[in-house]
């Protein structure tokens, strides 16, 4: 059995206190409804756990009805940090869940083939992440405004979501993070802590995340082109 956790508890503070980026209308629906639809439609996914902010449960319940999402889903309260939200999501998985795909709520364009490929790779390796090769020329600064050195981009990948795991692997990895009082920016970083190899799964199509309002028009364009 495969579960998905959609992390939709972020406050999106980079957009200001009054904007909840997950509910921005994009290509005719709230942003997070596009993300949810991806997993509702993904053939290999059996259930969906949505980790949401307290007080937003009603909005998500309405969304399920309005867009006719079909798969079993459960709402779970978010935690203080992203890793706490993921942890809460893991507690809510069906007992039979073997694989879990963890997705940013604000990343609405993930291709079905990429979801499927991370699931297959996680079955095989234990952990897998959607990623794209870095195509920009990259420099490391000296900490200020001067270039300190050139970084060879040949081996660099920008990682995205889904980040997909055998359930015991991510449980053990995040347990380790919690015991050591660490803060990790993504779930594969937790795997690195326990020596769990992580497979890179190339996203051929763009798979961007909304971080600031200036990201919205591009994502709207991608969603509209797909719908056309």
Q: How far is the CB of 62 from its own copies (least distance, A)?
A: 31
Q: How far is the CB of 139 from its own copies (least distance, A)?
A: 5
Query: Number of residues in contact with its own copies, rule: CB under 8 A?
Result: 43
Q: Which of 85, 95, 81, 37 is nearest to 63 (CA)?
A: 37
Q: Is 124 in the site for its own copies (CB under 8 A)?
A: no
d(CA 4, CA 99) in angstroms, rounded, equals 8
Residue 91: in which H helix or E strand, if any?
A: helix 82-91
Q: Is 72 in the site for its own copies (CB under 8 A)?
A: no
Nearer to its own copies, 46 or 192 (CB): 192
Nearer to its own copies, 45 or 117 (CB): 117
d(CA 68, CA 36) in angstroms, rounded, equals 11
Q: Is 18 in the site for its own copies (CB under 8 A)?
A: no
Q: Is 150 in the site for its own copies (CB under 8 A)?
A: yes
Q: Is 173 in the site for its own copies (CB under 8 A)?
A: no
Tokens of 14: 């980079």
Among 147, 181, 227, 228, binds its own copies (CB under 8 A): 147
Pairing state between β 2-8 and 29-30? unpaired
Tokens of 54: 């307290």
Measured in whole angstroms, how far is the alpha carbon of residue 94 from the centre of its chain? 19
Among 189, 194, 213, 216, binds its own copies (CB under 8 A): 189
Q: Which residues neighbour 4 within 8 Å (Cβ) at sequence distance 6 or greater?
A: 39, 42, 45, 47, 48, 49, 100, 101, 102, 103, 162
Q: Is 143 in the site for its own copies (CB under 8 A)?
A: yes
Query: CA 34 → CA 45, 146, 182, 197, distances in Å?
Result: 16, 41, 32, 30
- Site string (26-65) toward its own copies, x via CB under 8 A: ----------------------------------------
Q: Is 217 in the site for its own copies (CB under 8 A)?
A: yes
Q: Which residues neighbour 33 within 8 Å (Cβ) at sequence distance 6 or greater?
A: 63, 66, 67
Q: Is 210 in the site for its own copies (CB under 8 A)?
A: no
Among 135, 181, 195, 227, binds its own copies (CB under 8 A): 135
Interface residue list for its own copies (CB under 8 A)? 125, 129, 131, 134-143, 145-151, 155-160, 185-186, 188-189, 192, 197-201, 206, 211, 214, 217-218, 221, 225
């Amino acid at each position: 059995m495969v579960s998905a956790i959609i992390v939709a508890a972020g406050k999106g503070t980079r957009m200001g206190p009054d904007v909840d980026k997950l509910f921005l209308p994009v290509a005719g629906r709230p942003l997070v409804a596009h993300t949810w639809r991806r997993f509702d439609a993904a053939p290999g996914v059996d259930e969906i756990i949505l980790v949401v902010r307290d007080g937003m449960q009603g909005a998500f319940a309405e969304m399920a009805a309005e867009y006719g999402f079909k798969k079993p889903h459960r709402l779970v309260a978010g935690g203080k940090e992203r890793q706490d939200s993921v942890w809460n999501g893991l507690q809510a998985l069906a007992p039979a869940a073997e694989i879990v795909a963890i997705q940013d709520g604000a990343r609405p364009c993930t291709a079905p083939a990429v979801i499927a490929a991370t699931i297959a790779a996680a079955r095989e390796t234990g952990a897998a992440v959607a990623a794209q090769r870095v195509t920009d020329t990259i420099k490391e600064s000296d900490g200020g405004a001067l270039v300190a050195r050139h970084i060879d981009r040949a081996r660099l990948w920008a990682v995205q979501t889904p980040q997909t795991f055998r359930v015991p692997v991510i449980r053990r990895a995040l347990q380790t993070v919690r015991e050591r009082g660490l803060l990790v920016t993504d779930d594969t970083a937790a795997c690195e802590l326990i020596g769990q190899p992580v497979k890179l799964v190339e996203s051929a199509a763009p798979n961007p995340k909304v971080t600031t309002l200036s990201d919205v028009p591009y994502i709207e364009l991608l969603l509209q082109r797909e719908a056309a």
